[in-house]
């Protein structure tokens, strides 16, 4: 980048916010983090140390990393910011209240980006003085590891704000996706929920164990999905005609499978079964240990890079 | 293995059968392949050369690989076989007709395993003289690359047949899953269909492009799914209480997302949109080239191995 890295204000130093703060700081941006909690500074420092070797391995660590500066309140954090990344709990009233404080102290041209995983931007931006600079920028957690950022504008978002956000994240090495219409859960969480719905059905109806359903994904489907999305998978099952050949030959079979998929509910029996079988599958490993194994493995997969992406997608 | 590798008969030398034949032969088993097509021998030879470096990289190549022997008919292929892997087109009548020929020539104790991706074993085994040794052993294609094999017994399958099949594939380095009840599409294809259903909905309703939906998976979800299945992903979002904590805090949100997921149909408009946007995403690359990129990348991911699996899952 030829410009001086812009200052980023991160609002909230929970799991999502602290990971964002570490990412922006280690990528070389001045970072100010607003959180009233006295433990925030220690959390930020710990996250910075966890993120550093990850970003070094991915090649996203700046030669001139910064340290996130902890601020007790929004009024201290946002005045100097060019980019504001909100990472508060998933609560509409809480977020909108914070936006009022942010707008009272921020430059009018600062981008205001929410990390919300499910709320709609048109709802979140209601009541803003400058709704045109508001958008959703939803990371995959942790933001210092996962490349994807989903960008979603609301009814009042200016296209230029989305363009600026796209340039900002792409310059940081992120892979951005821009939704053409807002949707509850954006893309990632909708796709994840769709897969889990059938995974729950298979366990609830006794077709297979939690461990075996998960292995169907980790041992069978997961490796494909690092290089081909669900559309491309079937495009490559269609022979030389690709998707057209696939739809012609296998479309009816897929529609029959769709009609046989389950619609489970998370009732008490199903929840007990999921909890008990997940406990078996974990085999004494704590969620913390499993999360560490997960992130270590994801890093190895991401460090492989990708086959070259075609232009203009 | 201390025993001499058992002889494997593969029925059908199409894409699935040829990949199985290459896998068994390069793993050191004597292999006889039945296919009336005169081009079968050339296809088998080509598949063997494609599979060899893949299995060398994965560590599944035997020190004493064999060459698959092509036979024009089932009567020549099956008499010496300990294991019979049927890989004919997905057509019930065709498969059942082949089973009659197989049973007329095979040893009664030979395992008869179908590669069917969607048919139910209870249906397929109707009319067999020895239905107890019949089961589904469904690979992820290509079988020389992908570790997963789904094992499914029908109403008349002996548990011992499933045990033997499990030992057979596990000795070859495969990851086996055993379904507790048969289901159309087993696990892998049901899960894949569930993900694609929402992927089609998002494109059909104009939320995002084919390319961006696919990138949500390849850049966001895929790397996670190589190490955590859909259940474990949410277990690790539940804090120290794991799945129980997740269900309590986020169960209602997930159920709300489920109710918002789409139920698309593959009508002409949707098919045209998928074909046109997939064409954009491919950006001039042929399906063949994309499939080669896919398999090369999958190999790199699988060659990383996995974090150690907990015992007894």
Confidence (pLDDT) at B118: 84
- pLDDT reading at B1 higher than 80: no
Question: Measured between beta carbons, which residues in chain A are less than 8 angstroms from residue B288?
Answer: 240
- Residue A310 has its nearest CB partner, among B177, B189, B285, at B285
Longest Cα–Cα distance of chain B, Å, equals: 61
Contact A235 B287 (CB under 8 A): yes
Q: Which of A190, A210, A271, A14 is nearest to B248 (CA)?
A: A271
Judged by DSSP in three states, A266 sits in coil
Q: What is the pLDDT of residue A305?
A: 85
pLDDT of residue A307: 65
HEC-encoded secondary structure of chain B: CCCCCCCEEEECCCHHHHHHHHHHHHCCCCEEEECCCCCHHHHHHHHHHHHHHHHHHHCCCCCCCCCCEEECCHHHHCCCCCEEEECCCCCHHHHHHHHHHHHHHCCCCCEEEECCCCCCHHHHCCCCCCHHHEEEEEECCCCCCCCEEEEECCCCCCHHHHHHHHHHHHHCCCEEEECCCCCCCCCHHHHHHHHHHHHHHHHHCCCCCHHHHHHHHHHHHHHHHCCCCHHHHHHCCCHHHCHHHHHHHHHHHHHHHHHHCCCCCCCHHHHHHHHHHHHHHHCCCCHHHHHHHHHHHHHHHHHCCCCCCCCCC
CATH of domain B191-303: 1.10.1040.10
A190–chain B Cβ distance below 8 A for any pair? yes
Kindly determine whether residue B231 and residue A287, on different chains, have CB atoms separated by under 8 Å.
no
Reported as type and span, the H/E element at residue A149 is strand A148-153
Q: How, if at all, do strands B148-152 and B134-139 pair?
A: antiparallel
**What is the C-alpha to C-alpha distance for residues B146 and B157, in angstroms, rounded to an integer?**
26
Cα separation, A151 vs A9, in Å, equals: 18
What is the C-alpha separation between A94 and A32, in angstroms, rounded? Answer: 20
CA proximity to A146, closest of A84, A110, A98, A192: A192
Distance CA A258, CA B184 (A): 10
Cα–Cα distance for residue pair B81/B282, rounded to 1 Å? 43
Check if B172 contacts A (Cβ < 8 Å). no
Does B301 lie at the interface with A, CB-CB under 8 angstroms?
Answer: yes
A148 contacts on B by Cβ (under 8 Å): 215-216, 219-220
What is the tens place of the pLDDT at every residue in B137-183? 999 989 999 999 999 999 999 999 999 999 999 999 999 999 999 99
Which residues 260-299 in chain A show a CB within 8 A of chain B? 260-261, 263, 265-266, 271, 274-275, 277-288, 290-291, 293-294, 296-298
Q: CA–CA separation, B81 vs B78, rounded Å?
A: 5
Q: Tokens 């002409």 appear where?
A: B268
Q: Which residues pair with A112 in a beta bridge?
A: A84, A134
Residue burial B207-233, b: 16+ Cβ < 10 Å; e: rest: bbbbbbbbbbbbbbbbbbbbbbbbbbb
Which two tokens mark B147? Answer: 């570790």
For residue A4, what pLDDT is reported?
81
pLDDT of residue B239: 84
Note whether A191 and B221 are within 8 A (CB).
Answer: yes
Phi, psi of B113 (to 5 degrees): -125, 125
d(CA A113, CA A109): 12
Report B:35-74 residues touching A (Cβ under 8 A).
Answer: none
Chain A closest-CA separation from residue B80 CA (Å): 31
ipTM value: 0.93
How far is Cα B155 from Cα B166, in angstroms, rounded to an integer? 18
Range list of β-strands (E), A20-129: 31-34, 69-71, 83-86, 111-114
Q: Is-contact A95 A73, C-beta < 8 A?
A: no
Chain B residue numbers touching A177 (CB-CB < 8 A) = 208, 212, 215-216, 219
**CA distance linking residue B31 with residue B24, whole number of Å:** 7
B231 alpha-carbon distance from chain centroid: 21
Taking residue B195's Cβ as centre, other Cβ atoms within 10 Å add up to 27
Taking 70 as the threshold, does the pLDDT of residue B129 lie above it?
yes
Please name the member of A206, A210, A240 whose beta carbon is closest to the beta carbon of B231.
A210
The rounded mean pLDDT for chain A is 94
Report the pLDDT averaged over residues B39-55.
Answer: 95
Q: What is the mean pLDDT of residues B261-277?
A: 98
Return the structure tokens found at A138. 């939803």
A6 touches chain B (CB under 8 A): no
pLDDT tens digits, one per residue of A77-111: 999 999 999 999 999 999 999 999 999 999 999 99
**DSSP-assigned beta bridge partners for residue B192:** none
Which residues of chain B neighbour A242 with C-beta distances below 8 Å?
A: 275, 278-279, 282, 287
| CB contact burial A139-148 (16+ within 10 A = b; e otherwise) | bbbbbbbbbb
A147 and B219 within 8 Å at the Cβ level: the answer is: yes
**Segments of chain A scoring below 70 in pLDDT:** 1-3, 307-313
Residue B53, Cβ neighbours under 10 Å: how many?
11
> What's the rounded Cα separation, in Å, for the pair B226 and B220?
12
Count the Cβ atoms, other than its own, within 10 Å of residue B282. Answer: 21
- The pLDDT, as a whole number, for residue B307 is 65
Supply the pTM of this predicted model: 0.93
The CATH number of A188-282 is which of 3.40.50.620, 1.10.1040.10, 2.60.120.10, 1.10.760.10? 1.10.1040.10
C-beta neighbour count of B181 within 10 angstroms: 11
Distance from CA of B270 to the nearest CA of A (A): 10
Name the minimum distance, in Å, from the CA of B84 to any CA of chain A: 23
CATH topology of domain A8-178: Rossmann fold (3.40.50)
Query: Among residues 202-241 of chain A, which lie with CB inside 8 Å of chain B?
Result: 202-203, 205-236, 238-240
B230 and A192 in contact by Cβ < 8 A? yes
Query: Per-residue b/e over A193-205, b at no fewer than 16 CB within 10 Å?
Result: bbbbbbbbbbbbe
Letter string b/e over residues A294-308, b meaning 16 or more CB atoms within 10 A of that residue's CB:
bbebbbbbbeeeebe
End-to-end, the C-alpha distance of chain B in Å comes to 23
Which residue carries 């046989």 as its tokens? A260
Please tell me the predicted confidence (pLDDT) of residue A145: 95
How far is Cα A121 from Cα A118, in angstroms, rounded to an integer? 9
Please count the residues of chain A.
Answer: 313
pLDDT above 90: residue B57: yes
Task: Output phi, psi for A143, to 5 deg.
Answer: -65, -25
Please give the Cα distance from A70 to A18 (Å, whole number). Answer: 10
Tell if the CB–CB gap between B207 and A183 is shorter than 8 Å. Answer: yes
Residue B26 distance to chain A (closest CA, Å): 21
CA distance B240 to A293: 15
Q: Do the beta carbons of residue B36 and residue B72 sit within 8 Å? A: yes
Which candidate, A179, A174, A129, places its Cα nearest to that of A154?
Answer: A179
The pLDDT of residue B308 is above 60: no
Residue of B nearest to A262 (CA): B194
In sequence order, the 6+-apart residues with CB closer than 8 A to the CB of A305 are: none
Q: Mean pLDDT of all residues in chain B? A: 94
For chain B, the structural domain boundaries read 8-178, 191-303
């Amino acid at each position: 980048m030829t410009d001086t890295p812009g200052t980023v204000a991160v609002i909230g130093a929970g799991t999502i916010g602290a990971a964002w703060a570490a990412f922006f700081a280690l990528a070389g941006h001045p970072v100010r983090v607003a959180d009233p909690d006295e433990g925030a500074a220690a959390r930020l420092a710990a996250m910075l140390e966890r993120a550093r070797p990850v970003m070094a391995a991915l090649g996203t660590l700046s030669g001139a990393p910064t340290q996130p500066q902890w601020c007790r309140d929004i009024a201290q954090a946002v005045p100097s910011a060019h980019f504001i990344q909100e990472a508060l709990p998933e609560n509409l009233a809480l977020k909108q209240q914070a936006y009022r404080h942010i707008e009272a102290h921020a430059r009018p041209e600062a981008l205001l980006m929410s990390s919300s995983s499910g709320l709609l931007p048109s709802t979140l931006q209601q009541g803003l003085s400058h709704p045109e600079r508001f958008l959703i920028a939803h990371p995959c957690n942790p933001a210092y590891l996962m490349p994807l950022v989903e960008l979603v504008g609301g009814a009042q978002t200016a296209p230029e704000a989305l363009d600026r956000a796209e340039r900002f994240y792409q310059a940081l090495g992120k892979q951005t996706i821009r939704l053409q219409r807002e949707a509850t859960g954006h893309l990632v969480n909708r796709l994840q929920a769709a897969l889990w719905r059938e995974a729950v059905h298979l366990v609830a109806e006794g077709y297979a164990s939690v461990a075996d359903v998960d292995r169907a994904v980790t041992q069978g489907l997961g490796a494909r999905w690092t290089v081909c999305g669900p559309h491309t998978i079937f495009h490559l099952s269609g022979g030389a005609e690709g998707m057209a050949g696939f739809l012609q030959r296998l479309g009816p079979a897929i529609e029959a499978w769709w009609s046989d998929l389950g619609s489970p509910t998370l009732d008490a029996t199903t929840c007990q079964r999921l909890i008990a079988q997940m406990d078996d599958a974990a085999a004494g490993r704590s969620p913390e240990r499993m999360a560490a194994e997960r992130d270590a493995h994801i890093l190895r997969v991401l460090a492989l890079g990708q086959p070259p992406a075609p232009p203009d997608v």
